[in-house]
Amino acid sequence: MRRATTVLLSTAAVALVATGGTDGGDPTSATATSETTASQEPTSDAPATDAPADDPTDGVPPFPENTALQFAKPSGERGLVFTDVRVAEHEGFDRIVLEFTGTGIPGWAVNYVDEARREGSGSIVSLGGDAVLSIFASNTTWPAAGYYSGPQRFEPESGGDIDDVYVGGTWEGATHVLAGIDGAPVPFRVFALTDPSRLVVDVVDASAD
């Protein structure tokens, strides 16, 4: 099933205000606690530890019980440069990772949208899947050396419930990615990692036992 996906301009405004992600913002909070620890959930001050490759759940925040908007402010130096986005399937959840160069910690605003449009132009984006997750990372800049050069749209080869990914790019201090999710909206968690700087969005796999 294919569905038109949009991010309303009002959602973008919420993302930028909530995360302090405009070029003139004053990034605060979500500070790293070590070279391999970072950031906080919107409702918690507890840092999330950079999970080792063999255990992607070690030290990360728990999944919430709802599917509400999650946001946090950035910290550190401005000017993170978006370099990569990837998707991986894990036991019980699928993981989306946005990677950046730079030493700051990105802010974020992540939520489900009914109908999504590309930020800036307002053009409709069509993705595979039934639900659409909108991901904004703030404290980012473009153009710069090493900026993302991958596909604007791709279907993850890892399997799982993430059917499609659209990279909207960086616009006015925020980087925007849309993910098409198979099935109804399910809980997700968001946190940041360092060394390198990353924004992580884990989406519950509704089909998992």
Which pLDDT tens digit goes with each residue over 6-51? 333 334 434 443 334 333 322 222 222 222 223 333 433 323 334 4
Which pLDDT tens digit goes with each residue over 195-208? 999 999 999 998 76
Which pLDDT tens digit goes with each residue over 100-120? 999 899 999 999 998 877 887
Q: Is the per-residue pLDDT at 176 higher than 70?
A: yes
Q: Which run of H or of E encompasses 48?
A: strand 48-49
Stretch 139-166: mean pLDDT, rounded?
A: 93
Q: Which domains does the chain carry?
A: 2-31+68-204 (2.60.40.3500)
pLDDT on residue 89: 95
Q: Which amino acid is at 27?
A: P
Stretch 85-108: mean pLDDT, rounded?
A: 96
pLDDT on residue 54: 57
Task: pLDDT band for 65, please (50, 70, 90 cuts).
Answer: very high
Give the Cα separation of 133 and 188 in Å (integer). 10
pLDDT on residue 55: 72
**Cβ–Cβ < 8 Å for 76, 105:** yes
**Cβ–Cβ < 8 Å for 181, 161:** yes
Stated pTM of the model: 0.77
Give the Cα separation of 54 and 36 in Å (integer). 15
**Cβ–Cβ < 8 Å for 139, 105:** yes
Which pLDDT tens digit goes with each residue over 66-85? 999 999 999 988 899 999 99
pLDDT on residue 206: 86
